[in-house]
Amino acid sequence: MTRILGIETSCDETSASVLQGEGDDVERKSLVILSQDVHRVFGGVVPEIASRAHLTSIVPVVARALDDAETSLDEIDAIAVTYAPGLIGALLVGVCYAKSLAFARGIPVVPIHHMEGHIFATALDDRDATPPFTCLLVSGGHTMLLDVEAWGRYRLLGATRDDAAGEAFDKVAKLLGLPYPGGRPLEMLAREGNASKYRFSKPMSRRNAEPGDADYYEFSFSGLKTAVLNAVNASDGNHRADIARGFQDALIGSLVEKTFRAALNFNRDKIVLGGGVACNSALVSAMRERVAELGAKVYAPSPRLATDNAAMIARAAFYHYAHGEHASLDLNAFASRPLPGLVAA
């Protein structure tokens, strides 16, 4: 029975988790997530503040994760840590701590790409969320559409050309006078809106698009954001809920249509969502309705596993650890790094 301690510090959550199991039969023994609410004052994450907060939090967070799992470092087989992508100062806190801990205990450290962690996260909620499947990753920093033929083999079909979906949510929420982070407040406000009042176009969703077209799987939300800005300015502060509904419907419509295309063309009967936006109930409902004709099942993570968390990092590490992959002590952190395991599209 393998037991892995995961550490995640890529942005503004300090998180640690202990998982145990073998193969795809993995059990979460603990998960601690400490969020830095101070960033709400500034309307966005301040990198230097995030890094300093990780420094003061990482030791007690890891200790609490071990206590909750009723285990000790002597029983840990490996330490998994996010090494990319993210805020470089924040990442370095986690990487340096993980390397020091692993060296002191004489166990390997397994470096994990943050977005690969999101691919694995949903499997902790539902063990049927295993390859092959179509995967949509939607977070504050990334929007990616992947065909996952096996763990460790990812075909990147499309990504955002500008704003990520979560970033678009935050920016539009700010336009509407909502607090940061804006995803959840905007979703709640949109529930009160009239769907027919503002019908924004679904970005990059041409009906005559065909496989092979440059924009067939790609995303873009900058134009939608500008349309919302114009609507807000023209509304004189009125119709906030209607605008929120129109924006959310258009953005989700684009995400759903591109995912449907991927599932259809690669003949997948599983669709796995990952990232902070993946727990948006309107997205999950729209996705399930759209792919029903394919007989495909949609797997979405719980809110706790949709956010940045160490459990998903440890879960991804089970695959890499089983394949003998680990890092040397010169492991570094990177603000940007390609997803590992990419195969030709």
Report whether 290 contacts 253 (CB < 8 A). Answer: no
Buried b (16+ CB within 10 A) or exposed e, 191-224: eebeeeebebebbbbeeebeeeeeebbbbbbeeb
Q: Flag whether pLDDT at 216 surpasses 90.
A: yes
CA pair distance 317, 222, nearest whole angstrom: 35
Report whether 334 contacts 85 (CB < 8 A). Answer: yes
pLDDT of residue 211: 87
Q: Flag whether pLDDT at 22 surpasses 80.
A: yes
User: How does pLDDT run across 32-56, given as a tens digit for each residue?
Assistant: 999 867 667 667 788 888 899 999 9
pLDDT of residue 69: 98
Complete DSSP assignment for 25-54: EEEEEEEEEEE-GGGGGTTS--HHHHHHHH
Report whether 340 contacts 323 (CB < 8 A). Answer: no
pLDDT of residue 206: 85
Domains of the chain: 2-119+306-343 (3.30.420.40), 130-300 (3.30.420.40)
Would you call 132 exposed, middle or buried from its count of C-beta atoms within 10 A (0-12, 13-18, 19+)? middle
Q: Pick the residue with more confidence: 12 or 192? A: 192
- Cβ-Cβ contacts under 8 Å for 106 (sequence gap 6 or more): none
CA pair distance 318, 110, nearest whole angstrom: 9
pLDDT of residue 94: 98
Q: Give pTM, 2 decimals.
A: 0.95
How high is the mean pLDDT of the chain? 94
Pairing of strands 297-299, 270-274: parallel
Q: By percentage, how much of the chain surpasses pLDDT 90?
A: 86
pLDDT of residue 345: 66
Q: What is the residue type of 63?
A: A
CA pair distance 102, 328, nearest whole angstrom: 10
Question: Six-digit token pair at 11?
Answer: 């942005």
Average confidence (pLDDT) over 160-170: 93
Integer CA distances (angstroms), 95 to 19, 79, 330, in order: 19, 10, 10
Lowest mean pLDDT among 28-42, 76-90, 209-223, 292-306: 28-42
* C-alpha closest to that of 257 among 172, 134, 139, 155: 134
Question: Six-digit token pair at 298?
Answer: 């949609």
Report whether 117 contacts 82 (CB < 8 A). Answer: yes
Pairing of strands 270-274, 153-159: unpaired
pLDDT of residue 144: 96
Q: Flag whether pLDDT at 121 surpasses 70.
A: yes
The conformational region for residue 28 under phi > 0 = left, psi -120 to 50 = alpha, else beta, is beta
User: How does pLDDT run across 135-163, given as a tens digit for each residue?
Assistant: 999 998 889 999 999 999 999 999 999 99
Q: Pick the residue with more confidence: 35 or 260? A: 260
Question: Six-digit token pair at 127?
Answer: 């063990």
Average confidence (pLDDT) over 160-180: 93
Would you call 295 exposed, middle or buried from its count of C-beta atoms within 10 A (0-12, 13-18, 19+)? exposed
Average confidence (pLDDT) over 262-271: 97
SS3 263: helix
Q: Flag whether pLDDT at 306 surpasses 80.
A: yes
> Using only C-alpha atoms, what is the Rg of the chain?
20
pLDDT of residue 300: 97
Q: Pick the residue with more confidence: 39 or 270? A: 270
